[in-house]
Each structure stands twice: as structure tokens, then as C-alpha cells.
Amino acid sequence: MNQYDLNLILNPNLSAEQLQIEKDYIETTLRGAGAEISNLDDVGNRRLAYAVGKDREGYYLMYTIKASGNPEKDIASSLRLRDNVRRILVVKDRPEWKTKKA
């Protein structure tokens, strides 16, 4: 199993209930695809570099997952169908990126 970073930007105007529904759906999708969630960093609303769907802000969720196969295809394709998901980025984590500074 390889480690991946899954970064999502959601609609910034979601209520607490809607946000919890989206988080539950994301976790269900990840577990359904055979991925393990190592960490969730719930950043919250942040300003975007450019407008996405007339919104200048987005709600950021950053997952660290362990998955086998091709999570870009399996996970991201099903999450893109959600109306409240604005952007998805799946990046394979590589050990050489975690270099120690002298």
C-alpha cells in the first residue's frame, strides 16, 4: 500500500450538518475503495487564489491515506460527482520529499 495525500476543496457556504454529511460520504468512499485514513487535517474556510464557481473561498480538507491501486481513478472519480466538492487533488507521497534540513 502506498501513501497518498488527498486534498479537497468544498463549498464554503455549507452548514455544520451538510459539512458532516460530506465528511461521512468521503470517509465511506475511501473505505469502500479499500483505503485507510491515516490523518485528517480540517483546515476550514480559506481564501482561494482565484474564484471557483463564483466563490472566492473554499473549505479545505486534507486527508493522508494509504491505498493500493490507482486512487486517482477510483476515489477521485466518485468524489467529483458531488455537488459540494469544488476541487480534488491526489498526490502520491514520496519519502525523498521529506528531507531533513541541516
Q: Which pLDDT score, from 0 to 100, does residue 15 have?
A: 95
The parent domain of residue 64 ranges over 2-94
C-alpha closest to that of 10 among 26, 30, 28: 26
- CATH number for 62: 3.30.70.60
Q: Domain for residue 67, yes or no?
A: yes
C-alpha closest to that of 31 among 71, 59, 62: 71
Q: Domain for residue 90, yes or no?
A: yes
Q: Domain for residue 99, yes or no?
A: no
Q: Domain for residue 8, yes or no?
A: yes
Q: Note down pLDDT in tens along the chain; length 102 residues.
A: 889 999 999 999 999 999 999 999 999 999 998 999 999 999 999 999 999 888 999 999 999 999 888 878 888 889 999 999 999 999 987 766 666 665
Domain count across the chain: 1
Residues 6+ apart with CB under 8 A from 5: 62, 63, 64, 65, 89, 90, 91, 93
DSSP state of 97: G
